[in-house]
Amino acid sequence: MTPKCAVIQGDVLEVLRSFEDNTFGAVITDPPYASGGLHAKDRQATTAAKYTKNKTKNPLPNFEGDSKDQLSWMLWCVAWLREAKRVCKKGAPICVFIDFRQLDALKWAMQWADWLVNGIVVWDKTEIVRPQRGRFRSQCEFIIWGSKGAMSLKRKVPVLKGCYRYSTLNRGKLHQTQKPLALMRDIVRIVEPGETILDPFAGSGTTLVAALQEGYSAVGIEVTKEYATIAQKQIDTLSQTSPTNNREVTM
Ligand SMILES: C[S@@+](CC[C@H](N)C(=O)[O-])C[C@H]1O[C@@H](n2cnc3c(N)ncnc32)[C@H](O)[C@@H]1O
Residues in a beta bridge with 144: 96, 120
Mean pLDDT by 10 residues, the chain (251 residues): 93 98 98 80 76 67 86 96 98 97 97 98 94 93 98 94 93 91 98 98 98 98 97 94 55 42
Strand order across the beta sheet in which 5-9 lies? 5-9, 217-222, 196-199, 26-29, 93-98, 140-147, 116-124, 163-165
Ligand 1 site, CB within 6 A: 11-12, 30-32, 63-65, 175, 177-179, 201, 203-204, 206, 221-224, 227
Strand ranges in the chain using DSSP code E only, listed in sequence order: 5-9, 26-29, 93-98, 116-124, 140-147, 163-165, 196-199, 217-222
Confidence at residue 251, expressed as pLDDT on a 0 to 100 scale: 42
Candidate of 72, 184, 208, 222 to mutate for ligand 1, largest count of ligand atoms within 8 Å of Cβ: 222
Cα four-point dihedral sign 163, 164, 170, 176: negative
- Read off the amino acid at residue 237: T
Quote the CA–CA distance of 80 and 72 in Å, as a whole number: 13
CATH placement of domain 5-240: 3.40.50.150
Confidence at residue 55, expressed as pLDDT on a 0 to 100 scale: 55
Task: Tell me how far the alpha carbon of residue 134 lies from the centroid of ligand 1, in angstroms.
Answer: 33
pTM summary value: 0.93
Length of the chain: 251
Confidence at residue 249, expressed as pLDDT on a 0 to 100 scale: 41
Q: Hey, where are the domains in the chain?
A: 5-240
- If you take atom 7 of ligand 1, which residue's CA is the nearest one? 178
Confidence at residue 48, expressed as pLDDT on a 0 to 100 scale: 80
Strand ranges in 37-148 using DSSP code E only, listed in sequence order: 93-98, 116-124, 140-147
